[in-house]
């Protein structure tokens, strides 16, 4: 069923009213201009005191600057800490989620975005017995158990032999969907199997992860993240690719299918329907690229178009559509479920897009089939100055209200928050210079997620591969 103009006007008007007063997590208002991310300096908005927890204080250890009263602990360090099997913790930390573990512990599942072969990678995910998809590939994910007191207890392989495991997403039934951000085929770049798939990893039961099987029903392309609609069973997926720009996808389960632990791997390769988003504006006009939206509060209607060949045997999925058939966006990255819908990140747009920006966040409402622009960051004129924020990537919904984002832009790197009235403020700054004094370099933050009880914010610095636990006086009114 496609959108009529009348349907669009009715649904978008209702959506604006409903989201603006939603109180589940105190999330972002949808009125035009409410989230003018480029209109004010971070932490300041006209008529408001600066939000957040105060200035970031330099770290004497040169790792993480935090507000007064906050502290951090390094849980894993690539090449330094060890797995239970004796090998070093793999490198290139990326997407992550937390789960309740035994005896009050927390289980953290996190990806390792390694695209090299096992022979070429400095710190590959070890080829643990029965947990390997492609023995040539060096990526995968590991599981870390953290005690009730915050101490790392043990770390083990969740899946190995995958490639470029970037983001992903947790499921309502307590597992992790790890996503390969590549579409390399067997025989290319040293690989022995096709890649570009989603795999399910169970943090609670290592036996469930034996003999990994890709969920081919979700397609083969440069996957970034995956989110499950807990009510309808849809899986939303982002694609980080260009020439042409990537797509937003939705997978609809086949009739009678019931989600649950291990159920995805039982699906036929062509099960359900994999579709790409096609957007129209309030006048019913086709929108070719999400960067066209420059006003906060812009609402698009969304139709879903069938993917011709989801396994991309001859042509990459994003290239299977003709002009006018789908809506594209650059750097479609992290997603998180909240407020009855999906928050979706486009990290930036440059010359490959109609309009340039340094980050946008959209909200998709499944009930209304609308996409609403919530945050738009203008192009940062000087990324090396500790001021304007840019390049959001991984995302989570905060239990204290608002969104928490991991910055993956140039220059200075932060964890930052977006509040309900459009202001942003930094929570942490990466002070670990992996360059030189003359030419400093700061790696991106990744894998931002809260503990199940909301007391601890976990995040990683991708290079040199540090997983950090941040604690402090979190409060709901920090955005006021």
The separation between the first and the last C-alpha atoms of the chain, rounded to the nearest angstrom, is 42
Strand, helix or coil at 364?
strand
Q: Residue 86 pLDDT more than 50?
A: yes
The answer to whether the predicted template modeling score (pTM) of the entire model surpasses 0.85 is yes
Bigger pLDDT: 420 or 74?
A: 74
Q: How would residue 385 be classed by pLDDT, with cut points 50, 70 and 90?
A: confident
Strand, helix or coil at 223?
strand
pLDDT for 38: 37
Mean pLDDT of 358-385: 95
DSSP-derived pairing of the beta strands 299-306 and 370-376: antiparallel
Mean pLDDT of 464-478: 94
The CATH number for 62-470, chosen from 3.40.50.10490, 2.60.120.620, 1.10.10.10, 2.120.10.30, is 2.120.10.30
Distance from the Cα of residue 81 to its chain's centroid: 25
> Is residue 15 a contact partner of residue 368, using CB atoms and an 8 Å limit?
yes
Cα distance between residue 338 and residue 172, in whole Å? 12
- Element spanning 5, H or E: helix 5-21
Q: Which of 443, 474, 454, 473 is nearest to 63 (CA)?
A: 443
């Amino acid at each position: 069923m496609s959108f009529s103009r009348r349907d669009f006007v009715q649904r978008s008007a209702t959506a604006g009213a409903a989201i603006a007063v939603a109180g589940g997590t105190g999330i972002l208002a949808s009125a035009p201009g409410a989230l003018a991310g480029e209109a004010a300096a971070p932490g300041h908005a006209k008529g408001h005191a600066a939000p957040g927890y105060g200035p970031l204080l330099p770290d004497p250890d040169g790792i993480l600057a935090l507000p007064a009263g906050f502290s951090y602990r390094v849980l894993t360090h690539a090449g330094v800490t060890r797995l239970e099997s004796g090998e070093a913790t793999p490198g290139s930390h990326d997407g992550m989620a937390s789960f309740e573990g035994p005896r009050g512990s927390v289980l953290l599942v996190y990806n390792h975005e390694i695209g090299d072969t096992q022979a070429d990678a400095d710190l590959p995910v070890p080829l643990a017995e029965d947990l390997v998809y492609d023995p040539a590939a060096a990526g995968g994910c590991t599981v870390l158990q953290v005690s009730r007191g915050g101490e790392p207890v043990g770390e083990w392989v969740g899946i190995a032999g995958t490639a470029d495991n970037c983001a992903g997403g947790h499921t309502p039934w307590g597992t992790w969907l790890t996503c390969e951000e590549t579409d390399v085929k067997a025989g290319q770049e040293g690989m022995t199997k096709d890649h570009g798939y989603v795999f399910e990893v169970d943090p609670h039961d290592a036996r469930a992860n034996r003999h990994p099987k890709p969920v081919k029903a979700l397609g083969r392309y440069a996957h970034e993240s995956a989110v499950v609609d807990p009510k309808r069973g849809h899986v939303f997926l982002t694609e980080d690719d260009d020439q042409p720009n990537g797509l937003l996808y939705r997978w609809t389960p086949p009739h009678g299918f019931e989600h649950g632990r291990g159920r995805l791997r039982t699906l036929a390769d062509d099960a359900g329907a994999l579709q790409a988003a096609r957007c129209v504006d309030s006048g019913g006009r086709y929108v070719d690229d999400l960067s066209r939206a420059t006003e906060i509060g812009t609402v698009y209607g969304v139709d879903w178009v069938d993917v011709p060949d989801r396994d991309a045997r001859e042509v990459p999925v994003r290239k299977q559509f003709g002009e006018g058939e789908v809506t594209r966006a650059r750097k479609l990255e992290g997603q998180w479920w909240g407020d009855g819908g999906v928050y979706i990140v486009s990290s930036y747009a440059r010359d490959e897009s109609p309009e340039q920006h340094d980050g946008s966040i959209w909200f998709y409402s499944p009930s209304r089939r609308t996409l609403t622009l919530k945050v738009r960051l203008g192009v940062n004129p000087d990324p090396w100055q500790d001021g304007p924020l840019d390049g959001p990537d991984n995302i989570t919904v905060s239990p204290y209200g608002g969104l928490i984002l991991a910055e993956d832009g140039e220059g200075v790197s932060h964890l930052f928050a977006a509040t309900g009235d459009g202001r942003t403020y930094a929570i942490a700054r990466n002070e670990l210079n992996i360059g030189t004094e003359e030419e400093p370099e700061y790696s991106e933050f990744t894998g931002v997620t809260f503990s199940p009880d909301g007391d601890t914010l976990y995040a990683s610095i991708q290079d040199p591969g540090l997983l950090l636990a941040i604690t402090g006086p979190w409060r709901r009114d920090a955005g006021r």
